[in-house]
């Protein structure tokens, strides 16, 4: 691997950064909203599954005693 000077490295970084396609404000907001919605949906789902398993375990334990 060839060594490059720090100045050449910074020029390469600048050139690569110029190639990046940054998301628009609308895309960023929509993505953030979708993340929040999915987080809430998954939170409700896992809470429901946990609650159901908790009830099943309590039922089974009450049958054992």
What does the CA dihedral 25, 26, 30, 36 come to, rounded to 10 degrees?
40
Q: Could you tell me the residue ranges of all domains in the chain?
A: 25-65
Say how far apart CA 25 and CA 4 lie, in whole Å.
Answer: 36
* pLDDT exceeds 80 at position 2: no
* pLDDT exceeds 80 at position 4: yes
Say how far apart CA 6 and CA 2 lie, in whole Å.
Answer: 13
pTM for the model stands at: 0.66
* pLDDT exceeds 80 at position 1: no
What pLDDT is recorded for position 3?
Answer: 85
pLDDT in tens, 14-63: 999 999 999 999 999 999 999 999 999 999 999 999 999 999 999 999 99
């Amino acid at each position: 691997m060839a060594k490059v000077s720090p100045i050449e490295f910074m020029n390469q970084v600048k050139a690569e950064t110029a190639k990046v396609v940054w998301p628009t404000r609308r895309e960023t907001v929509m993505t953030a909203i979708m993340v929040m919605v999915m987080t809430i949906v998954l939170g409700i789902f896992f809470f429901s599954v946990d609650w159901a398993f908790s009830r099943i375990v309590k039922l089974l334990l009450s049958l054992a005693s």
